Amino acid sequence: MASSYSIDLKLELMVTGEKAGLWGDITNTNLVIVQQAIAGFQQVALNATTGATLTFTNGATSNGKNAVIELTGTITGNVDVTIPSDITNKVYIIKNSTSGAFSVTVKVSGQTGVTFSATDKGTKILYVNGTDAADSNIGKLSNDFAPQLSAQLDVNGQSIGDGTLELIKFTEAGSAVNEITIANAATTAAPAISATGDDTNIDLNLTPKGIGRVTLNGNGKIQGVAEKVTTSASFDSDVVIDTNTQGVILSTAAADANFVINLRGDGSNSLNASLDTGESVTVAYISKQNATAYYPTEIQCDGVTTNVTTVWQGGSAPSSGNTTSNDIYTITAIKTAASTYTVLAAQTQFA
């Protein structure tokens, strides 16, 4: 009777009495094949458009018998790595190191298999279950009902998301000593997001993108607040207040002429773009006055008075400043429609 071959590893199964003088070589070859199945590693280069079919040659080492396979090559379309249909049981560690934004599917011939997405250049532990290649999903947190970290989680410069969309991104300063701590709380207490670290006094910055705002949904409570003040050492008859970056302008140079106060978003954005309809912004201009006092002749929004209705505290606009004083002009601009504002203004003397 002639030798036969095992189903999955294609080991040569000799019959008693045959292969006289060859048993040693055949047995050694079988042991090498077993070693290949347990600890073997091989790179398999994929065809750019068709992928590859793993080989299982009778009585010989073959790429499909390896425990670990690294898929290489540049692919120009979605490709398959096919396992012959007579292979019913096999475990693989497969790393997708292909180049090209296309998927790679590992499957038993005629089946659907397991797919590495176009962006998945990772490693999977697969097994042939008698019908097809299946993903063990070993290593996925979703398989662990109570995952616990035993060391710091290294995100390796990656974001956290659902596999397609980013939810949280991380950046890291090489010399960082400060960080954020997120704490939960017991009944009646509030959870907290805190700045922590080696430094004693640390700001916590919340930065919107562009001219977007940080929105607090619901009521707010402030225990202490500081407002940015821009100090100007020279007088300009065209006083521009950038409402996106400053709330107060202090002029330390005395006014030497009447002036116009203009509210805008900033140098790149209009007030109209910076405010939604139904929103307001309040600013203050502190004007130093000497023996001859001056005052604002008009208040503009985005450089014009068109569609700007200004109403003054007390019922009338000032006709002069206050000598040897600091005159504070407090201005609230309410956007009532596109590029349309009601402006509430007041003059207060501090001497």
Q: pLDDT digits over 75-92, tens only? A: 999 999 999 999 999 999
d(CA 106, CA 52): 10
The token pair that represents 72 in the structure block: 């290489």
Question: Average model confidence (pLDDT) for the chain?
Answer: 93
Give the Cβ contact number of residue 132 at 10 Å. Answer: 19
Mean pLDDT of 345-351: 97
Using the predicted structure, report yes or no on whether residue 232 has a pLDDT greater than 80: yes
CA-CA distance, 137 to 24, in Å (whole number)? Answer: 40
Q: For residue 127, what pLDDT is reported?
A: 96
Q: What is the pTM of this model?
A: 0.62
Check residue 12 and give its pLDDT.
Answer: 86
Contacts (Cβ under 8 Å, ≥6 apart) of 183 = 191, 192, 194
pLDDT at 145 over 70: no
Q: Give residue-wise pLDDT tens across range 2-13.
A: 888 888 888 888
Q: What pLDDT is recorded for position 174?
A: 87
Beta bridge partners of 288: 326
User: Which range is least confidently modeled, 45-54, 145-154, 226-235?
Assistant: 145-154
List CB contacts of 76: < 8 A, sequence separation 6 or more. 48, 49, 100, 102
With b meaning 16 or more CB within 10 Å and e meaning fewer, what string describes 261-283?
A: bbbbbbeebbbbbbbeeeeebeb
pLDDT digits (tens, 9 = 90+) for 248-299: 999 999 999 999 999 999 999 999 999 999 999 999 999 999 999 999 999 9
Least confidently predicted of 164-173, 187-196, 286-295: 164-173
Is 318 in contact with 299 (CB distance < 8 Å)? no
Is residue 144 predicted with pLDDT exceeding 70?
no
Q: Tell me, what's the pLDDT at 143?
A: 65
SS3 91: strand
Q: How confident is the model at residue 240 (pLDDT cuts 50, 70, 90)?
A: very high
Q: Would you state the structure tokens that stand for residue 124, as one six-digit string?
A: 């999977």
With bands split at pLDDT 50, 70 and 90, how would you rate the model's confidence at 53? very high
